[in-house]
Structure 1
Amino acid sequence: MTTKLKAVAAAAFAVAGLSITAAQAQDVTLRMAHIYTPGNIWYDAAEAYKQAVEERSEGAITIDIDHSGMTGDWPQAIEGLLIGTNDIVLQSVGTLDRYDTIAGIEAYPYLVRDLDHFKETYFGDLGRELYGEIREKTGFKIIGAGYRGARHMTSSVEVRSVEDLEGVKLRVPPLRMYRMTWEMLGASPVPMGVDELFTSMQQGVVDGQENPLEIVESQKFDEVQDYVVETAHVIGAMTFIFNGDRFEQLPEDVQQVLQEEGDRVMLEFSDRMADDEQALKEALQERGMEFIEVDRSAFQARLGDMPAEFPELADWVERIQASAE
């Protein structure tokens, strides 16, 4: 980690010892929604955020959590931020792509290189500027960035090269960035929610999907998929999403606690996720999945027209890529 990143992390952890009084916080109760189930790392991250905020505020801020998609899938949960049924949603930055393309930068293929570049992108000045633009254009306030590990393709059919993708029906999240990526790679993307994905793969409606290994493992996709194709096409960012206007109506000290603890928790779980990636791979191999190494440069070469499809992101792509050099 660079000296700059060490300073960012140190600052995030240094403020964790501060607290606010019940009078200052005015007994704020917030409702969080997410789709992750017990045993998943992001389920644990939500619980850690709840605990950290409640302890630091001495109980003046309470976070109630609806987990496992209890109140709907992630698009419904984010809609809940707009109508006021949710205050916080734990989900990736790119899920806000449906509100403005700027948020789709998170899912831009082969953009973020590794964990250190991830932290440079999201926890420095560049990240603050990016989140500010997302706030301005989508209306949502984003806190923290959790390294999800690389997204890989899984499949019930053998894929050893980019040419093998021809005709493969691949489930993608219902977001334009993912659909365009896999169309350019030669697959036949099928947008659908994750709640129907397992059954769709089991019944052959789709041949495969793409996600970080923690999703593959926790959702037991090994039961309906034979291969993990190590495309590593996206390194995504999990985050805490708020309705921007309502967040700014909270007392400033409450905003500070939510911001600082969110950053701290996501830094902590980024490192935990990085430590877990190899163990997840080994667990899936033990369950019978075959991991296939592919020529990622050949995949990336197929995506040469991506900048033309998303010209509004060109400046951000250039700046993020340059920050890795």
Structure 2
Amino acid sequence: MKKRLLSLSIAAAVLLSGCGAQQTTGSGSPGAGSGAKTHTLKVANYFATDHPQNVALREKFKPMVEEMSGGTLKVQIFDNSQLGAEKEFYDGVRNGTIEMGIPGLIMQADIPKLAVGEWPFLFKDFAHAKAVFTGPIGEELTEELESKHGVHPLAWSANGFRMFSSNRPISKLDDFKGLRLRMPNIPNYIRLGQLLGANVTPMPISEVFTALEQRVVDGQDNPIATLRASGWYEVQSDVLESRHMFSPNLYIINAKLWNELTPEQRQIIEQAAKASADYEWELMEKSYEADKAFLQEHGIRFTTPDDSFRQAMEAAAQPLYDEIYQTYPWAKEMVEKIKAAAK
């Protein structure tokens, strides 16, 4: 059954890949500007259907765009990696076969400043993270995205504070030793896992459930909203509330398409993206206690690290910062600016 559903999803993605770029001249509307062309915006992401990212897209972004544009802009949401894993749909937005996406920071390999968003133990709380990403620092992080990758940034949203889930308790640093840990295929993630003492296995998020179920890996790191929405709690027993990294997401649109839109259409999309992302920040922050209660009801045990354990994790991660500072002259000043934003 899973194979059949996967085949249908792939077939649908192939069929739709050429549809979104088709344009027909519409009569326009007061909201979209006179003579505006009609565009269908496919929005791809890797989150489960019930994740706050997709709730916000359905409840805010889609209705706002379609209503405010008078029908010249239509939105189709492709969640749960329907149009490919993160790299695939991000590349689709870059080359224009997919109009929009909400990736993580996969682009940081080519744009090093974007890696800042996921440096370990850097953010104090949601308010601190939101102030950084939605303010001048967030603009600075994305300033090269359009020129280097051909995608236009619209709004920062929140994935949340990442924590480790596993099939056994993690209550001290030594418990990471020998732990087969799935992490995204991003150098900073991999290095952090290794410094903590884990055996890191990079893989796309779409493969995580099966890897956990078949004991290919023992654990993974993600915000607990993802643990719940993706059903991984069925194949895990423990969560360490490590809050070791804040993970943001970014609403993006193909730059060529962006420049073809009318000024009114661009304003509508940007306004809707910011409203949707702002709503998603709110949903993510509010959902933590509810997600935790749900997971506990389903047998997940939570471990909150004491001060000594947390300090040990931060100390273990310090060589990563030493390497970053040696590589990027701007990095230390950036860290200081981010920490100052918490005050």
TM-score normalised to the size of structure 1? 0.88
Of 143, 166, 169, the match for 1:158: 169
Q: 1:186 to 1:220 in 2, by over 3 A?
A: same
- For 1:32-111, what aligned pairs fall within 5 Å after superposition? 32-47=43-58, 48-92=60-104, 94-111=105-122
Letter in structure 1 aligned against 2:85: D
Q: 1:269 to 1:24 in 2, by over 3 A?
A: farther
Letter in structure 1 aligned against 2:336: E
Letter in structure 2 aligned against 1:186: G
| CA distance in structure 2 between the aligned counterparts of 1:303 and 1:193, rounded to whole angstroms | 23
Letter in structure 1 aligned against 2:335: V
Q: Could you list the per-position Cα deviations for residues 110-135 of structure 1 after superposition, in whole angstroms to 9, with x for gaps in the alignment? A: 12211211221022222222222444
- Which SS does the other structure have where 1:157 is aligned? coil
List gaps (5 residues or longer) in structure 1: 1-18
Aligned to 1:288: 299
List gaps (5 residues or longer) in structure 2: 1-29
- For 1:299-318, what aligned pairs fall within 5 Å after superposition? 299-311=313-325, 312=328, 313-318=331-336
Larger radius of gyration: 2
Letter in structure 2 aligned against 1:211: N
Q: 1:296 to 1:136 in 2, by over 3 A?
A: farther
Q: 1:282 to 1:154 in 2, by over 3 A?
A: same
Of 209, 218, 221, the match for 1:210: 221
| CA distance in structure 1 between the aligned counterparts of 2:322 and 2:264, rounded to whole angstroms | 43
| CA distance in structure 1 between the aligned counterparts of 2:198 and 2:312, rounded to whole angstroms | 14
| CA distance in structure 2 between the aligned counterparts of 1:126 and 1:199, rounded to whole angstroms | 38
Letter in structure 2 aligned against 1:76: E
Letter in structure 2 aligned against 1:301: A
Percent pairwise identity? 26
Q: What is the aligned residue count?
A: 307
CA RMSD across the alignment? 1.9
- For 1:1-325, what aligned pairs fall within 5 Å after superposition? 20-21=31-32, 23=34, 25-47=36-58, 48-92=60-104, 94-294=105-305, 295-311=309-325, 312=328, 313-325=331-343
| CA distance in structure 1 between the aligned counterparts of 2:195 and 2:302, rounded to whole angstroms | 23
Query: 8 Å contact 2:157–2:251 — kept in the other structure?
Result: no
Q: 1:242 to 1:315 in 2, by over 3 A?
A: farther
| CA distance in structure 2 between the aligned counterparts of 1:289 and 1:49, rounded to whole angstroms | 33
Q: Could you list the per-position Cα deviations for residues 199-256 of structure 1 after superposition, in whole angstroms to 9, with x for gaps in the alignment? A: 1111211110000111100111111111001110112212212233442343222222
- Which SS does the other structure have where 1:86 is aligned? coil
Letter in structure 2 aligned against 1:214: A
Q: Which moved more, 1:157-166 or 1:223-232?
A: 157-166
| CA distance in structure 2 between the aligned counterparts of 1:257 and 1:297, rounded to whole angstroms | 46
Query: 8 Å contact 1:107–1:235 — kept in the other structure?
Result: yes
TM-score normalised to the size of structure 2? 0.84
| CA distance in structure 2 between the aligned counterparts of 1:241 and 1:166, rounded to whole angstroms | 38
